Structure 1
Amino acid sequence: MDLHRLDHVPPELLTTPVEELDNVLPGPTLLHIPGRAEPPLFISTLLHGDEPTGFQSMQRLLTQYLGSPEGLPRSVWLFLGNVHAAKGNLRHLDQQPDFNRIWNGGDRPEHRLAARVVTMARENGLFACIDIHNTSGKNPPYSAINKLDPACVFLGKLFSDKLVYFTRPDTVLSKAFAEICPAVTVECGQAGDPKGLERVHGFVDQCLNLAAIVPTGYRTADESVYHSIGRIEFPDGCTVGFDHSGGQEDFVFVENLDSLNFQELPENTRIGWRHDAGKRLVVIDETGKEVGDEFFVYKGDEIRLKRAVVPSMLTTRPDAALDDCLGYLMQRYVLE
C-alpha cells in the first residue's frame, strides 16, 4: 500500500462527495498545503470510511481559505485515510485492518504506511495534531487525549467541555502523534449531524488561527473530565442484538442503549440480557487485562452493572459492536 503525497489541493477534491473520493485520490493521501504560519497543523480524517464529517468540514474550510488572497493562516498536512472504504460507507473493507489501529507497529502494508507518516511528522515538526471522527452511537461531542499534557488538555477543552483521557487501544493515531506534538481526537457525534459539522468546522478554524498553544490552566475538580478504564468486547463467535423484544441472540441489550452514553449509571443498572450462560462480556482494562467480572454481574438472564460507571461510545449497531467494541467504561478523573 502506497502513501500518496500531494503539494496542492486538486480542485475537484473540494466538491467531490465523500463516497466518490476514490475517483479523485488513488488511496491514502497526505496533502501538504502551504499557509502563512509554520509549523503545520496535522489534520487526519476518514481513518474510518463511514465517518465523513471531518472530510466535509475540511472541504468547507479549504474552499473558504484557498479562495481568499491571504490563503490559509497556517500550513496544513491533511491526511485522508481509508478513501476506498468511504465509497461503501464502511468502517474498513473486509481485507483491511482498522485504519485507527495501525499506529503502533506491525507487519502489514498499512502498518508500514502509518510508520512512514509518523516518521515524516517527527522529522519535520508539527504545531498540533487533530484526528476527526464520528461515533456510531449517540454521543455528545467530546474530545479524547492520550497524554496528560497541558497543551493536549487545552486543545481538548477548546473543542468540548467533555474530555476523555485514555491509553488503550494504544494503536490509535493520536497516541502516536502525542509523542511529537499536542494531539487530540475529536468525536463529532453521528455522521450526518449538522451540529457536529458546525462544531468541528469552528474548532479547526480556531486552531488554524492560533499563534501558539498557551494553556491557561484548568480546575483540578473539573467534573467533565473522564478516564476510560475498560473497553467492552465480545467472545469469539457470538451474536449480538438490540431491543429485547423477541431477540434471541447470545447478547441482547436494552433499546436505545446509546442514550446511556456519558450518563452516571449506578450499580445494578440493567443493560441487557444473555441467552447463552456459557458466554460473558469481555472487558479489557488499560493494562490489557481481562476484568469483565469487575464490571458485570449476571442475575438469571439479566446483565447488570457490578459498579457505578459512566459509559461512552455505546453503539446499537451489531456490526460496529462485533467489529470493534460495544463501548467504553469510564470514571470521573481529577486532573493533577
Structure 2
Amino acid sequence: MRRFKFVRDPDPKDLGYNIEEFLHWMDGPTCFLLTGDDPSRTRALVTLLHGNEPSGTIALYRWLKSGRRPAINIVCIVASVGAALEPPVFSHRMLPRARDLNRCFRPPFDDAQGILAEEILEILNLHRPEAVVDMHNTSGSGPAFGVCTYMDRQHDALVSLFTQRLIISNLGLGALMERSEADCPTVTVEVGGRLDDEAHELAFEGMCRYFQTEVVLSPGDTDWGLELLRDPIRLELNDNVTLTYAEEPCDNYDITLKPDIEHHNFGGVKPDTLLGWARAPEKQLFSALDAGGRCAVTQLVRIENGEMYPAQPLKLFMITNNAAIAHSDCLFYAVSDDGSTICA
C-alpha cells in the first residue's frame, strides 16, 4: 500500500471546518477505517474516483463530523484527492494527462492511475467487505441511478438504498463495479449532478442507510420497485471531431449540441427532438457499438439537413454538457424508450 493514508476512527475535531479543509487534511488518497457495533462484518464505500464529483466526499465529511458509529465496520476510500484539490476545487475529473481512474480496474496496472486502482483493489481484498458502493456524480444535472453488471436481489437491494433506477450494463470499460462477485456485490451509484444540493443530500441519506442498516443485501424495506434499463449503448465522438454547445450551429465546430441537452436525462426523446447540429454524416462523427459489437450509430442518431435528431424513440442518460468529458468519455448512453436493449 504505497499511496494511501490510513486513518482509523478519526476525531471529528481533526477534520477541518469545511470540505476544502477536509481535502487539505487528507492531502492525497485516504482510507478511513470505521469501527462498527458489529466488528465481525465489513462494508466498503469508494468515492471521489473522479476529482470533480464531490457528493460522496461531502457526505462522508458530514458523517465523520457527526461522530456517529456505523452498524458494522466500514472501509471508506477517498481516491482522487489531488485532482479535487487542483484549483478551483472539485473542478478536475483527473489531473492533466492522467487516465480516467474508473477505467483502470483491470490490468495492466502500469501507470500512476493503474497503480492507484490496483491499491484500491488490494485494500478491498484485504478487508473482504460484504458489499461495495462506488459513489459518483453525473457530469450534468439529472436524477440519481445505480449501475451494476447483472441483476440479482443483492444488487437490487444495494441500489435501493439510494435510488429507484437501475441500469444493467456490462460494457467492459475497466470500472470498479465490473469487479462485482457473488460474495461481494459491487454497484455504482450516481447520486445526481455534481453541482446539485439535492445530490449532496441524497448521497448523505443513502450513506446513512448503508452505514447504519443491519442488513443491506436483501430488499426488505428499501426495495422501492426499481426501474430497469438494460444494455445501454454509448455514443462516442470519433477522433479529431470538434464539439461545442450553443443555441445555433457554430461554423468552426463539427457538432453543436443544444446547451440544455442535459434536460433530456432519463426522459424520452422522439425522432423529432432536435439535439443539435452537425456538419458531416453520422458515422464520420460518432462511434457506437451494441452488445454484439456491431456499429449502432444509426440506431441512435440521424442527421438531416445539418440537424441532429434521435434515430428512434430513445431514453438517454449520462448526457454531458461538458465538451472535455464528451471527448474523453462519451456524449450519452441510450436505451429504447421502454428501457430495453436497442435492437438493430
Measured against the shorter chain, the TM-score band is 0.7 to 0.9
Aligned to 1:95, what secondary structure does the other structure show? Answer: coil
Question: 1:219-298 to 2 correspondence within 5 Å?
Answer: 224-248=227-251, 249-277=253-281, 279-298=284-303
Question: 1:126-275 to 2 correspondence within 5 Å?
Answer: 126-178=129-181, 180-212=183-215, 213-216=217-220, 224-248=227-251, 249-275=253-279
The alignment's TM-score, normalised by the length of structure 1, stands at 0.88
1:320 partnered with 2:325: yes
Aligned to 1:133, what secondary structure does the other structure show? Answer: strand
Per-residue CA distance 1:197-243 (angstroms, 9 max, x = gap) = 22121111111122222234999xx6821124211110111211112
CA-CA distance at 1:7 after TM superposition: 3.7
218 and 14 in structure 1: CA distance in 2 versus 1, 3 angstrom threshold: closer
Task: Supply the AA of the counterpart residue of 1:118.
Answer: L
CA-CA distance at 1:104 after TM superposition: 1.7
254 and 103 in structure 1: CA distance in 2 versus 1, 3 angstrom threshold: same
Task: Supply the AA of the counterpart residue of 1:72.
Answer: P
CA-CA distance at 1:35 after TM superposition: 1.7
158 and 31 in structure 1: CA distance in 2 versus 1, 3 angstrom threshold: closer
Task: Supply the AA of the counterpart residue of 2:74.
Answer: V
Per-residue CA distance 1:42-93 (angstroms, 9 max, x = gap) = 1111111111110010011112235xxxx33221111111111101220001
CA-CA distance at 1:301 after TM superposition: 0.9
Is the 1:150–1:217 contact (alpha carbons within 8 Å) kept by the matching residues of 2? no
CA-CA distance at 1:244 after TM superposition: 3.7
255 and 151 in structure 1: CA distance in 2 versus 1, 3 angstrom threshold: same
Is the 1:32–1:78 contact (alpha carbons within 8 Å) kept by the matching residues of 2? yes
CA-CA distance at 1:119 after TM superposition: 3.6
User: Identity over aligned residues, as a percent?
Assistant: 23
Task: Supply the AA of the counterpart residue of 2:51.
Answer: G
The range that moved more, 149-158 or 270-279, is 270-279
Aligned to 1:92, what secondary structure does the other structure show? Answer: coil
203 and 153 in structure 1: CA distance in 2 versus 1, 3 angstrom threshold: same
Aligned to 2:37, what secondary structure does the other structure show? Answer: strand
Structure 2 segments unaligned to the other structure (5+ residues): none
Q: Counterpart in 2 of 1:45? A: 47
Aligned to 1:147, what secondary structure does the other structure show? Answer: coil
Q: Counterpart in 1 of 2:73? A: 75
Q: Counterpart in 2 of 1:2? A: 2
Task: Supply the AA of the counterpart residue of 1:279.
Answer: Q
CA-CA distance at 1:16 after TM superposition: 5.8
> How many Å separate the matches in 1 of 2:198 and 2:305?
42
1:87 partnered with 2:88: no
Per-residue CA distance 1:123-142 (angstroms, 9 max, x = gap) = 43212111111111121122
> How many Å separate the matches in 2 of 1:53 and 1:128?
20
The range that moved more, 286-295 or 233-242, is 286-295
Aligned to 1:197, what secondary structure does the other structure show? Answer: helix
What's the C-alpha RMSD, in Å, of the aligned pairs? 2.6
The range that moved more, 86-95 or 209-218, is 209-218
Is the 1:39–1:127 contact (alpha carbons within 8 Å) kept by the matching residues of 2? yes
Is the 2:155–2:186 contact (alpha carbons within 8 Å) kept by the matching residues of 1? yes
Q: Counterpart in 2 of 1:299? A: 304
Aligned to 2:195, what secondary structure does the other structure show? Answer: coil
How many residues align structurally? 328
Q: Runs in 1 of length 4+ with deviation above 6 angstroms?
A: none
> How many Å separate the matches in 1 of 2:183 and 2:96?
32
Is the 2:161–2:222 contact (alpha carbons within 8 Å) kept by the matching residues of 1? no
267 and 196 in structure 1: CA distance in 2 versus 1, 3 angstrom threshold: same
84 and 120 in structure 1: CA distance in 2 versus 1, 3 angstrom threshold: closer
> How many Å separate the matches in 2 of 1:320 and 1:246?
20
> How many Å separate the matches in 2 of 1:185 and 1:122?
18
Q: Counterpart in 2 of 1:61? A: 63
The alignment's TM-score, normalised by the length of structure 2, stands at 0.86
Aligned to 1:198, what secondary structure does the other structure show? Answer: helix
Task: Supply the AA of the counterpart residue of 1:295.
Answer: L
CA-CA distance at 1:31 after TM superposition: 2.2
